[in-house]
């Protein structure tokens, strides 16, 4: 029997049989849910609403703050259920009282944070299933041989990544942040705990962190295969060509990971830096998105407009690169560009990729875009579909770009694509006089 556990600011004499409506002066504090099979999730304001079958055959519904609470059961409800319901309700209210204070205290501390992510980012969840492990600096030094260069896996805008081996033999990836966090120790740990609780098969697992003195270090699961860029453009390209099915599967997996971050996770995250080097591949060459949530840790005072740009030139959406306008559609744009790179095997820095793609697409010669290393081994229908979707994702107007959940449906063939992409951004005068060569931004304000 699927279950749903409701915690609300309601009196203990809440009748388990019949219907109870809480007055508006009794706000719903939070809902904790465990819907295992048939429950349906909805969102209203800062509260997660769950509909499902409650213990004892009941049906429950929780409104947002100032809303209503209803518990109903079939007419054949027995006295036994009433007794059990009373006990459960009592336990639930006690748990709610113990957990409500730290939850709302944490929520209050976020008011001055990123306004865009604040609107619906953090749903009060007092019973997180996963908590980040806190490592000592000495422990991580031993794991990396004092952060020896031979253990260096890579370096990005946020810091250097090392391969490490913990005392129990577990291999991990250790990212030593080079950008100082603007948060205190406890605030940083709170953010790490939130990111640790975001789990999906297409997202890297954050295991824990180290916060000592000025050091801010993150510890991730270690994946033996390197990042996608090495297979497309680097050392692994010649020795291990990704076949078409693998490439299409990578595109689908990345779309699912982004859809989870944008729309399904309890903490809303905009990645801001989707690119091949931030897409790792596991042993089966499934994609795993890395570095999500890092912008929250180092740019926690950013707002949804005119934010400090965090990303890689060449993959930035124009509205973000030029004006700092941040939304989920920034990731959608980057996803479209990465999809074209996966399809063509060409990096956007080295050629007029978008111009070439648009020319072939508009002349109905889309199949000419397929990476020559694949020969003729691919599915033409999927190629045409992928190019169509990628161009929609890269529309100049963010409002014309689809949501990642819709992209996932299109890629799977579960929904028809009705929109048509528009030609855009092909003149040097576009966007405040900045010169864009296939979104490679070259303007004074980006050099500043």
Annotation: binding site for ATP: 176
Write the CB contacts of 404 (distance below 8 Å, at least 6 apart in sequence): 255, 258, 259, 262, 263, 328, 331, 332, 335
Pairwise CA distance, residues 155 & 153, whole Å: 7
Instruction: State both tokens at 24.
Output: 């508006």
Instruction: State both tokens at 82.
Output: 């009433």
Q: Taking a C-beta distance cutoff of 8 angstroms, is the pair 139, 167 a contact?
A: yes
- E strand intervals along 139-289: 152-156, 159-165, 171-177, 206-212, 215-221, 279-281, 287-289
Pairwise CA distance, residues 388 & 390, whole Å: 6
H or E segment to which residue 189 belongs: helix 185-196
Pairwise CA distance, residues 429 & 328, whole Å: 26
Q: Taking a C-beta distance cutoff of 8 angstroms, is the pair 335, 362 a contact?
A: no
**272, burial (CB in 10 Å: exposed 0-12, middle 13-18, buried 19+):** buried
Pairwise CA distance, residues 258 & 329, whole Å: 11
146: alpha, beta or left? (left if phi > 0; alpha if psi -120 to 50): left
Catalytic residue among 114, 273, 291, 371: 273
Instruction: State both tokens at 196.
Output: 């640790």
Q: Where are the alpha helices (DSSP H) in 47-78?
A: none
**Three-state SS for 408?**
helix
Active site residue 168: no
Instruction: State both tokens at 176.
Output: 């030593």
Pairwise CA distance, residues 4 & 37, whole Å: 10
12: alpha, beta or left? (left if phi > 0; alpha if psi -120 to 50): alpha
Pairwise CA distance, residues 191 & 188, whole Å: 5
Annotated binding site: 176
**282, burial (CB in 10 Å: exposed 0-12, middle 13-18, buried 19+):** middle
Q: Taking a C-beta distance cutoff of 8 angstroms, is the pair 401, 332 a contact?
A: yes
Active site amino acids: 273
């Amino acid at each position: 029997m699927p279950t749903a556990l409701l915690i609300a600011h309601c009196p203990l004499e809440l009748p388990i049989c019949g219907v109870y409506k809480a007055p508006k002066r009794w706000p719903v504090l939070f809902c904790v849910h465990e819907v295992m099979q048939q429950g349906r999730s909805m969102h209203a304001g800062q509260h997660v609403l769950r509909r499902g079958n409650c213990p004892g055959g009941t049906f429950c519904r929780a409104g947002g703050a100032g809303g209503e609470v209803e518990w109903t059961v079939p007419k054949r409800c027995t006295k036994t259920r009433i007794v059990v319901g009373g006990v459960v309700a009592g336990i639930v209210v006690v748990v709610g009282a113990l957990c409500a204070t730290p939850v709302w205290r944490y929520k209050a501390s976020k008011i001055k944070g990123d306004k865009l992510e604040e609107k619906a980012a953090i749903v009060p969840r007092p019973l997180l299933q996963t908590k980040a492990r806190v490592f000592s600096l000495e422990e991580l030094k031993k794991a990396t041989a004092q952060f020896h260069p031979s253990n260096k896996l890579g370096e990005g805008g946020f810091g250097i990544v090392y391969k490490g081996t913990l005392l129990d033999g577990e291999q991990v990836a250790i990212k030593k942040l080079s950008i100082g966090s603007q948060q205190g120790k406890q605030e940083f740990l709170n953010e790490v705990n939130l990111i640790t609780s975001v789990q999906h098969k297409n997202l890297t697992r954050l295991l824990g962190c180290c916060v000592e003195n000025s050091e801010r270090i993150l510890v991730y699961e270690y994946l033996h295969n390197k990042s996608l860029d090495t297979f497309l453009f680097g050392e692994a390209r010649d020795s291990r060509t990704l076949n078409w099915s693998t490439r299409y599967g990578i595109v689908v997996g990345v779309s699912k990971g982004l859809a989870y971050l944008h729309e399904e996770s309890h903490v809303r995250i905009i990645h801001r830096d989707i690119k091949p080097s931030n897409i790792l591949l596991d042993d089966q060459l499934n994609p795993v998105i890395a570095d999500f949530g890092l912008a929250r840790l180092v740019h926690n005072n950013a707002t949804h407009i005119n934010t400090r740009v965090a990303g890689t030139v060449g993959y930035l959406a124009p509205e973000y690169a030029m004006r700092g306008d941040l939304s989920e559609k920034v990731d959608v744009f980057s996803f479209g560009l990465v999809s074209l790179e996966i399809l063509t095997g060409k990096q956007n820095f080295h050629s007029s990729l978008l111009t070439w793609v648009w020319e072939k697409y508009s002349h109905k010669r889309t199949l000419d875009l397929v990476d020559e290393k694949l020969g003729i081994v691919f599915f033409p229908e999927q190629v045409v579909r992928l190019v169509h979707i990628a161009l929609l994702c890269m529309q100049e107007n963010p409002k014309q770009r689809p949501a990642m959940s819709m992209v996932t449906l299109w890629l799977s063939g579960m929904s028809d694509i009705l929109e048509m992409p528009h030609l855009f951004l092909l003149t040097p005068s576009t966007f405040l006089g900045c010169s864009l060569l296939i979104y490679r931004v070259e303007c004074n304000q980006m050099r500043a």
